[in-house]
Amino acid sequence: MRSVLVLLLSIGPVLAAADDEHVNLSLLSAHTALVPGKTSWLALRLQHEPHWHTYWINPGDSGLPTKLAWQLPPGYSAGDIAWPAPQRIDVGELQNFGYEGDVLLPIPLDVPTDARPETTAHIVAQVKYLVCREECIPGKADLTIDLPVASAAGAASKQVEAARAQLPQPAKWKGEASAHGEKVEVALHGADLPTISDAYVMDRKIVNYAPPQISRNGDAVTLGFAKSDYFTIAPPQIDLVVRAGARAWSVRVPFSSSP
């Protein structure tokens, strides 16, 4: 892998980038400055070569999710990736969940209250990823950003704002999950339920990764998944991302029965 480290300090938000043969990685800042005591946002941008992809938190039948390790100044804390809704990627008979094209993975960054204005925060992110077409290539890159600390956040990145706006929104629907023979069913209830086109379970070893059977009866929707071969004990709950066209929601439902 050919790695290049770039630091751009300009009027717009700061960016650090690395490049390899099949995916370009960039670390974007939501604003040009960090504010003491506030949560800022970074975003890992993945620009894939056509027909190549990386993976969601649950990669499906094969693959590994993208992971980040941080080196931050004292008192700073980076949260988990806020995962966009994935797309289905079929590779032969395998059903995978991931991303193609141009995608941003937002990450919250908590700035300590004692961060001093007119200083600079040196931030290093080590990215480990698996990029695949039919063959898969593991890669890693170190991205470095130096962000000033100031009393105001400064200019905003429209790219990062748009990526955060498109994240799955927490849903207020009620629901429950249950196991029946070789199936796991998730029932959702709510007057505002959209016409669900697909659903993804965030945890592995619960269901297999074929598209669910979706049925609707008034204000209730049932999602029927084939049970995973690795399903042994019902979890306390199931975390889902459901998609209706271009929009997506996240929902957690309790598991009401065990096999």
3-state SS class at 79 = coil
Assigned domain for 7 exists: no
Indicate the pLDDT class of residue 109, thresholds 50, 70 and 90.
very high
Rounded to an integer, the average pLDDT of 238-245 is 96
Whether residues 153 and 250 fall in one domain: no
For the domain that residue 173 is a member of, what is the CATH number?
Answer: 2.60.40.10
- Residue 85 shares a structural domain with residue 154: yes
- Residues 64-88 have pLDDT tens digits of 999 999 999 999 999 999 999 999 9
For residues 206 and 242, state if they share a domain: yes
Q: What is the CATH number of the domain that holds 69?
A: 2.60.40.1250
Average pLDDT over residues 132-144: 93
Q: ∠171-172-178 over CA atoms, to 5°? A: 85
Q: What is the pTM of this model?
A: 0.90
Q: Which residues make Cβ contacts (< 8 Å) with residue 218, sequence separation at least 6?
A: none
Q: pLDDT tens-digit profile of 170-212?
A: 999 999 999 988 999 999 999 899 999 999 999 999 999 999 9
In a domain, 259, yes or no: no
Quick one: 88 and 159 in the same domain?
Answer: yes
Could you tell me if residue 106 is inside a domain? yes
How many CA within 13 A on the CB side of residue 146? 9
Residue 200 shares a structural domain with residue 105: no
Kindly state whether residues 157 and 177 are assigned to the same domain.
Answer: no
Q: Are 123 and 173 contained in the same domain?
A: no
Q: Are residues 97 and 215 in the same domain?
A: no
Contact between residue 65 and residue 125 where contact means Cβ atoms under 8 Å apart: no
Question: Which residue, 118, 147, 165, sits at the end of a domain?
Answer: 165
Domain-embedded: residue 175: yes
* Position 6 in a domain: no
Domain span holding position 183: 169-254
Domain-ending residue, one of 165, 184, 205: 165
pLDDT averaged over every residue in the chain? 91
207, 166 contact by CB (below 8 A): no
Longest dimension (CA), the chain: 62
9: pLDDT strictly greater than 70: no
Same domain as 84, residue 199: no
Where b means 16+ CB within 10 Å and e means fewer, 145-182 reads bebebbeebbeebebbeebbebbbeebebebbbbbeee
Indicate the pLDDT class of residue 134, thresholds 50, 70 and 90.
confident
* Residue 2 in this model has a pLDDT that exceeds 90: no
Residues 45, 58 share a domain = yes
36 and 120 share one domain: yes
Within a domain: 1: no
* Confidence at residue 237, expressed as pLDDT on a 0 to 100 scale: 95
Q: Which domain-ending residue is among 112, 140, 165?
A: 165
75 and 141 fall within a common domain: yes
Q: Give me the number of domains the chain comprises.
A: 2
4 falls within a domain: no
